[in-house]
Amino acid sequence: MLKSCHLNYCYGILISLFIFCDTASGDLIKVDKTILEDANLITPDLIKKYGYPAETHKIQAKDGFVLTAHRIPKPGGQPVLLVHGLLDSSVAYVILGPERSLGFLLSDMGYDVWLLNTRGNRYSRKHKRYHRYQPQFWDFSFHELGVYDLPAAIDYVLARSKDFEQIHYVGHSQGTTSFFVMGSERSAYMKKIKLMQALAPVVFWDYIDSPIILTFVKYLRPLVFIARSFGIYEFPPENEVWRSLIHKICSFVFQNTCTYFLMEAMGVDYAQFNSSLLPLFTGHASSGSSVKSLEHYGQQIHSGGFFKYNYYSTWENRRNHGVDTPPQYKLTNVDCKVALYYSRNDRLTSDKDVVRLRDILPNVVLDYMFPDPLYNHINFIWGNDVKTVLNDRMIELMRKVDNGEV
C-alpha cells in the first residue's frame, strides 16, 4: 500500500510537470515545424515521409519477448541489420533524413535495411507471458539481447533473404556490447555475419572518465535497491511520460541546459552538434530500457574485464553461472570480420579500452580512431558530418567485403 502511494505521488508530479510544460511551451522557444513533425513521427512513418517504403515486422525471441523490426525493403538486396544503443531505437539510423542517415544511404546503395528494436524500448514491449508492469518483464540486460534478441533477428532476416547466407551487422554502443555477448555465448552465429561494424564499442570500462557515470556507479547498489523498493524496474519509469516531458522541457524551455548536460555525459563537441535539432532528438529519446541494463553496465566500470551479471548473492551466481562469481565473456569466440570505429573524446567508451578490445578480437579488419580529437559518443549517430566522416567510409568497406577485397 505504501509503495503504491509513493508511486502515485511520483506519477502525480510527472503529470503536473507535463501539463505545466505543455501550457508554457507555446510562448517560449520557437521550433521549426518540420523538426517538430519529425520528432513526433514513429520510425516507419518517418521513413515513409522521405519517400522510402517501410515495413514493420514482429520477431519472437526464444524466451518469449516479441521484438519489432522496421525495414526499408530492397528485394534481392544484401541484408544489413542495424542495432541501436541503450535507451535508443530504430529511429537512430534514419533520424537525420536521407542525406545523412545510414539507413537511407544503405537503401540508396541497394541494401535491404533492417532496423531492430531490442527488448524493452518503446517499440518492443510485448512478451508472451509477462506484462510490462511485472518485474519479470524487465529482468534483462545486454546479456539477454545478445543471447536471444540478436540471434532471433538474424534468423528472421536470413529466412526472408533467400539468396543470402550472411548479413552485414552495424551496432552502436549497446548494439556492439550485445553483439560481443552473442559471439561469446552463441558463437555459431559468427558464420552468419559477413562483417560487423562497431560504432563506439562498449565492452571494457576501465578508463572511463565521465564524472556523471562515475558518480552514478559510486551509488549504484543503493540506487538500484531504492528503485526496486518502489517497484521501479523500467528506466526511465513510465517511459512515455518521461520522454514527452523531457522533449517539452528541452525543446521549448531549457535547450542550452539540456545541451550542456548531454555534452557533459557524451563528450563536449559543439561543432558536430546542431542544437536546433535538439527537439528532434529528445522527441525520440529516451526510448526506454531496464534498470538491470544500467546496473549490468555499471558493474563493468573498473572491473578489469567484461563480465556476466553479478547477482546479489553467491547462491544466485552459482545458480545462474555455475560458479560463485560471474565469469567473463569469451571475446576470442568473436571470429567474424570486425571493424572498430572510436574516438578520443567519447566519455562512454575510452579509446584505450577499445584498443584492448582490438588486441583480443581475432579478426579485426579495420581499426579506425577518428582524427578529430573532439568526436564524441553521439556523433556516430547525430554528428553534423556523420555522412562524410563515417557513413561513407562504412559503406565503402561493406562494398569491399561484398566484392571479396577484404
Which pLDDT score is estimated for 45?
98
State yes or no: is 139 an active-site residue: no
**Structural domain count, the chain:** 1
Strand blocks (E) in 98-253: 112-117, 126-127, 167-172, 193-199, 234-235
Domain that holds residue 147: 30-403
More confident residue, 254 or 309: 309
Whether residue 131 is contained in a domain is answered as: yes
State yes or no: is 173 an active-site residue: yes
Lowest-pLDDT choice from 113-117, 220-224, 386-390: 220-224
Whether residue 21 is contained in a domain is answered as: no
Which residues sit opposite 368 in a β-bridge? 341
Among the listed residues 38, 88, 269, 346, the single catalytic one is: 346
Among the listed residues 127, 143, 247, 377, the single catalytic one is: 377
Q: How many angstroms separate the CA atoms of 259 and 270, rounded?
A: 9
Whether residue 19 is contained in a domain is answered as: no
Mind giving me the DSSP string for 309-374? ---SSHHHHHHHHSSSSPPBP-GGG--S-EEEEE-TT-TTS-HHHHHHHHHH-S-EEEEEE-S-TT
Whether residue 77 is contained in a domain is answered as: yes
* pLDDT tens, position by position, 91-107: 999 999 999 999 999 99
Whether residue 59 is contained in a domain is answered as: yes
All cell numbers assigned to 134: 511485472
Indicate if the pLDDT at residue 23 is higher than 60.
no
Whether residue 305 is contained in a domain is answered as: yes
State yes or no: is 131 an active-site residue: no
> Average pLDDT, stretch 232-252?
81
Strand blocks (E) in 61-200: 65-72, 79-83, 112-117, 126-127, 167-172, 193-199
Whether residue 15 is contained in a domain is answered as: no
Among the listed residues 90, 101, 173, 286, the single catalytic one is: 173
* pLDDT tens, position by position, 354-364: 999 999 999 99
More confident residue, 1 or 129: 129
Whether residue 24 is contained in a domain is answered as: no
* pLDDT tens, position by position, 186-215: 999 999 999 999 999 999 999 998 888 898
- Residue 93: which CATH number? 3.40.50.1820
